[in-house]
Amino acid sequence: MKKFFLLFVVFSNTFPGFSQAPPSWTSADMYLAIRKLNVLGAVLYIAAHPDDENTRLIAYLSKDKLFRTGYMSMTRGDGGQNLIGDEQGIDLGLIRTQELLSARRIDGGEQFFSRAYDFGYSKNPEETFTKWDKEKILSDVVWVIRKFQPDVIINRFPVTGEGGHGHHTASGILANEAFVAAADPGRFPEQLKFVSVWQAKRLLWNTFNFGGTNTTRADQLKIDVGGYNPLLGKSYGEIAAESRSQHKSQGFGVPAQRGESLEYFKATKGDQPANDLLEGVDLSWKRIPGGESIGRMVDSVTATFDLLHPEKSVSGLVKINKAINQLPDGYWKTQKLKELNELIAQCSGLFLEATTPEQFAVQTDSVRINFSFNNRLGTDAVLQKVKVDNFDTAFTKSLEKNKNVNFSKTFFVPGEKPLTQPYWLAQKMEEGYFTVTDQTLIGQPDVEVSYQAWIQVSIFGEPFTFVRPVRYKFTNPVRGELYEPLVVVPPVLVAPDEKNKISKGNNTFEGILNLTGKKKGFQTFLKGVGRDQIDPVKVEYTPDKVLFEDKNKTIPVRYSIQANIDNDYYFAVDANNGRKDLYHLGMKEVKYDHIPYINYFTVATVNNRKLDLKIYGKKIGYIVGAGDKVPDALEQMGYEVTLLTDKELSRNNLSQFDAILTGVRAYNTNEWMNKYYDKLMKYVNEGGNLVVQYNTSNQIGPVRAKISPYPFNITRTRVTDEKAVVTLLKPEHPVFNFPNKINDDDFSGWIQERSIYHGSDSAGKYEKLISMNDPGEKPDDGALLVAKYGKGYFTYTGIVFFRELPAGVPGAFRLLANIIALNKKKGF
């Protein structure tokens, strides 16, 4: 049952993506693009996650072979780990989406996604497909194949499990089935009103030799992709390293590589090629009826290209454009016209920009857009038309060489203007996939641009339309001129201070509702109303009247709710005093320097959890690791939390803390932890309680410091089934009895998984307290290891408290409270 609270608001008006700069090509880029006009070949690479792709191969295919090259990732990496912050789930998927797009800008590939959600580690494809809805995700792969029309498809992972992760194997299965289904008009026929069936020439498995598994064989196609491109001044290994290093949230920074690098390929559908990936495919204009002469025209422009004066090639490119337009409609006609459009703009030196000094365009308010055009190389160009939404103005203005043409226009932002929301988050998602009902959006990598400028320019007498996103442009005193997405937002944003509220006794809880006015000059009157009489509630707001004098001003409103049962409570503001215009969204922002700003909207919700929760002890020291939200949960539980970094650990007397917890991967990310090993062990020996959450032990996350009083090993064992049966090996132990009595109910309602990176007792000093396993596997007792050391306790746990606590899982709160109370075992 869900409750909806209205904040009745009367507005009285007092008066009426990207941190990267716009693409700028060198003459070498232009020359390669001209040569690419004569290559009519496409390759699609398929795998499961961001960072699964073979960046060196993608760079080689796109920049050496000059193929149209795409990467389709089944997921956005939502269930991965995060080495740069505390974002998880949806937030992490948005970060990794942008990291992939950044990688593609470097290696020259295009990016696609299915609707599949990365729900975390999966041990086999059978489990994966219980959540992904195999038929639905298969339809997405078929859709991308039919749209992209690759001559060859390459999948990273086999269908036989050598890739390890269940998602990996699932991606191989989907690629193999989609190869056949894409050519079958009986499969997903609803797509055929937008696309045609497509039969690729072959499907190749890009075999590998890593992680102790070698699937390469002498009889497989072998290609050296480590060559050097003198036009770019880099080898494909160097380009690949730069591309792969964009996966910063995963800690995938890698060194540049030079020299021979062999890739191996085995056909799983179609014939096995002997010498070349696209063997048997006509890559020339001969594959298009009437197109043979186009190849000769491109050869002529290539032969006469002047690196110092690329504008001299524009007239020839315009003639090629005109000739291609006369060909029958088809895939390669559309694709090459698209390539030519941008190539002509770059060779002409045309600078075409539409920007705004404001980051947000507010519904029912206005936004000013600044237009700036410059014909930097003096091409024969005449500005004819500029169109943005309903604004359409005609020009007949010759663009003089290197002279700026600037003007501004203020636009009203109507209330029905769509918010800038990632399309895959627009509807409520299912457990294993996003809900997207618009077929044409499926596969698209990014949020749709809020405003676009359509700029028509006549070049050598031929009309060309260039589309540019309207972006927020500003100057940072350290980083210089920056571009970020322009985001359409509602007039007011509603954000509770905490997602989860823990209540006890009479189920009364309170908090702060932050109202952010994005539109200047209105005031709000607030009243609380419960719509459902089954669960009568009492809601109070202080104050109940708010005046927004300036844009982007946040005013806190204190609320108090008294209810009878646990529930999820939604808040909204009413712009028309009870009539229609409800605003009930908050906006989440994610900002990192290496990717564009990320903004998306969520329903303003408070999850009330009435817990039978007792805590013992008050003061907690929390050693910050890679980033998690556990400290917030600890404060909700009633503890006083002190965040401990290098400086705080050196200065603080640790005996003041009832317990010290380490954040996730603290020993992976903090080399300075080694300095405090003796201090922490002394704290435990004298009666303290040290609780270490999971760390990894691999090439990405090596343990950088000693952890425990007695040796133990960190394994890769994990329990991915969040419903796995948990057996209490020592039910009489204080961990299960004080101050909360733990029972089976405490392990219900968990999300994504139970545990990761279990410990293994190599010293015989640890108590193994719980046992659990995934289906078909042996029970493992390494998720919760406890050792007595002197007067105190040391605990290592792979239990995923960092996932369960932010999700408001009651049993996770109760179990952690007991672990924290270990050194105060009253009554035992």
Q: Could you tell me the pTM of the whole model?
A: 0.88
Burial class (CB in 10 A: 0-12, 13-18, 19+), 347: buried
Residues of the chain with pLDDT under 50: 1-2, 4-17, 529-535, 577-579, 699-700, 825-828
What sign does the CA torsion over 157, 160, 163, 166 have? positive
Residue 607, beta-bridge partner list: 500, 568
What pLDDT score was predicted for residue 9? Answer: 43
| DSSP run (H or E) holding 620 | strand 619-623
Farthest CA pair distance, the chain: 92
Tell which residue, 198, 195, 150, has the closest CA to residue 40.
Answer: 150
Residue 725: alpha-carbon gap to chain centroid: 32
Are residues 690 and 660 in contact, defined by beta-carbon separation less than 8 angstroms?
Answer: yes
Tell me what pLDDT residue 699 has: 46
Is the separation of the CB atoms in 101 and 111 below 8 Å?
Answer: yes
Count of positions (residues) in the chain: 828
Q: 662, 513, 641: which is closest to 573 by C-alpha? A: 513
Q: Which residues contact 471 (CB under 8 A, 6 or more apart)?
A: 17, 18, 354, 355, 356, 483, 484, 485, 486
Q: How far apart are the C-alpha atoms of 487 and 471, rounded to whole Å?
A: 9
Which residues of 376-486 form beta strands (DSSP E)?
Answer: 381-388, 391-398, 404-412, 452-459, 462-469, 471-476, 480-485
**Other C-beta atoms within 10 Å of 350: how many?**
23
First to last CA, the chain: 41
Spatial strand order of the sheet with 350-356 comes to 404-412, 366-375, 350-356, 471-476, 480-485
pLDDT computed for residue 581 by the predictor = 57
| Residue 508 tokens, joined | 């009364």
Structure confidence at residue 506 (pLDDT): 61
Q: What is the pLDDT of residue 511?
A: 84
Q: Which pLDDT score, from 0 to 100, does residue 499 have?
A: 83
The one-letter amino acid at 581: D
Q: Encoding tokens for residue 35?
A: 């040569």
Tokens coding 406: 């600037």
Those residues with Cβ within 8 angstroms of residue 791's Cβ, 6 or more apart along the chain or in another chain: 685, 686, 687, 823
Distance between CA 660 and CA 92 in Å, rounded?
27
532 neighbors 6 (Cβ within 8 angstroms):
no
pLDDT in the model for residue 191 = 98
At 146 the three-state DSSP class reads helix
Please name the amino acid found at residue 669: T
pLDDT at residue 700, as a whole number? 47
Say whether the peptide bond before residue 477 is cis (omega within 30 degrees of 0). Answer: no
Neighbours of 817 (CB within 10 A): 23
Residue whose tokens read 């021979």: 260
Looking only at the bridges linking them, the beta strands covering 381-388 and 391-398 are antiparallel
Residues 307, 230 contacting (CB under 8 angstroms): no
Contact 181, 138 (CB under 8 A): yes
Sequence-distant (6+) residues with CB within 8 A of 414 are 363, 364
CA 593-598-599 angle, 5° bins: 145
Query: What is the three-class DSSP state of 757?
Result: coil
Is residue 12 classed as helix, strand or coil in its secondary structure?
Answer: coil
Q: d(Cα 667, Cα 704) in Å, to the nearest integer?
A: 6
- Supply the pLDDT for residue 11: 40
Residue 352 tokens, joined: 């075409």
Q: In whole angstroms, what is the distance from residue 80 CA to residue 122 CA?
A: 12
The confidence score (pLDDT) of residue 212 equals 83
Pick the closest to residue 98 from 422, 418, 425 (CA basis): 422
Q: How far is CA 366 from the centre of its chain?
A: 30
